Chain A
Amino acid sequence: MREWTWGGMVFLGIGLLLLMVGLLRGEGVLVLEKGINICLECMGLG
């Protein structure tokens, strides 16, 4: 019986690749812009 599958490796590779692309695209700044404001809409207020 196999102890590990290629599936995990493929997902890990895809995940790391996407993460790298996202960081290179500067998405951390976009997330920061969203995160620093109280989102009333997100809370169902207003």
Chain B
Amino acid sequence: MKRRLMQLVTSILANSYLTGFFRGHIYRGPLKALCVPFLNCYSCPGAWGTCPMGAFQALAAGFSQTLSFYIMGLLTTLGALGGRLVCGWLCPFGFFQELLYAYRSKKWRLPRWLKILPPFVLALTLALPFLWRSGVGMGQPYFCRFICPAGTLEAGLTLLILRPQLRTLVGPTFLIKVAILVMLILLGVFIWRPFCQTLCPLGAFYGLFNNKSFWRLKVKESRCIKCQACSRSCPAGLVPFIEANASGCVRCLQCTKVCPTGALTFGCAVDYAPFRTETGG
């Protein structure tokens, strides 16, 4: 409940520039210099901040091919602190997918092999704007342009509704993006966060730090009775008592709630009181 509330508040706050929705333009003030830590398209009429993945690619794709230390530093810092905590607690698009998944229907799990996709998507997202450039020396934000469903929903479709003159620009690329969004929405009813589990480059980046982050899951092996309650409850299809901090874990903490013996806990590794009691540290 606390997590849902956080997700709701963040989603509203990040997209609360209401003038943009009424007038069909975007916020152009100084707050746009700040990157939000989650996927939230900066061309959304309601967005106050800038999407880190979009800005990283846009800077890399320019003539000067800027590698943004600011964005990499911000994401690395947040990753080191909580891994994918941002995905589970703050990301508006993740929240949107969880709302879809809340619809009562048969639920499926993604095949495990699909979970190898995110690192590849991340590598391509970061590298292609530098490497694949036109004759005049410009790259493109390829992930934003061809895939990002958050951008299609928050910016593309919203702006097409608010600014009818833009509709003349709709072409095959945009239609492909809409098809990806529709497919993810449909899958999202049956599969938990399909985009986050397979295609999100930002989640993949944070996932690199899940094992090392300060705030992370801990398993007290002496208490674990291997009852599998955690793995049955994990929406990402992980086996928390074996792979507590795997890159797919978004820290929803469902496993800690269902564990009957309290073997799974979440906390800061520096001052980890529940753990300290047992180890005497």
Contact = CB atoms under 8 A, between A and B. Distances in A.
A30 to B, nearest CB: 6
A45 B77 contact: no
Contact of B43 (A19, A21, A22, A43): A43
B69 A39 contact: no
Contacts of B41: 42-43
Contacts of A21: 69, 73
Interface residues on A, range: 35 or more
Main secondary structure of the interface of B (DSSP, over half): helix
Contacts of A1: 275, 279
Given A18-B69, A41-B145, A43-B43, A31 B50 contact: yes
B273 to A, nearest CB: 10
A18 B35 CA distance: 14
Contacts of A42: 41, 43, 54, 58, 141, 144-145, 148, 151, 155
A5 B214 CA distance: 9
A31 B74 contact: no
A15 B79 CA distance: 9
A22 B145 contact: no
A14 B174 contact: no
A19 B70 contact: yes
A44 B81 contact: no
Interface in B150-175: 151-152, 155-156, 159, 166, 169-171, 173-174
A41 to B, nearest CB: 6
A44 B32 contact: no
A11 B209 contact: yes
B17 interface: no
B102 interface: no
A41 B140 contact: yes
A27 B68 contact: yes
Interface of B: 25-28, 30, 32-35, 41-43, 49-50, 54-55, 58-59, 66, 68-81, 140-141, 144-146, 148, 151-152, 155-156, 159, 166, 169-171, 173-174, 176-177, 209, 211-214, 269-270, 272, 275-276, 279, 281
Interface of A: 1, 3-5, 7-8, 11-12, 14-23, 25, 27-32, 34-36, 38-46
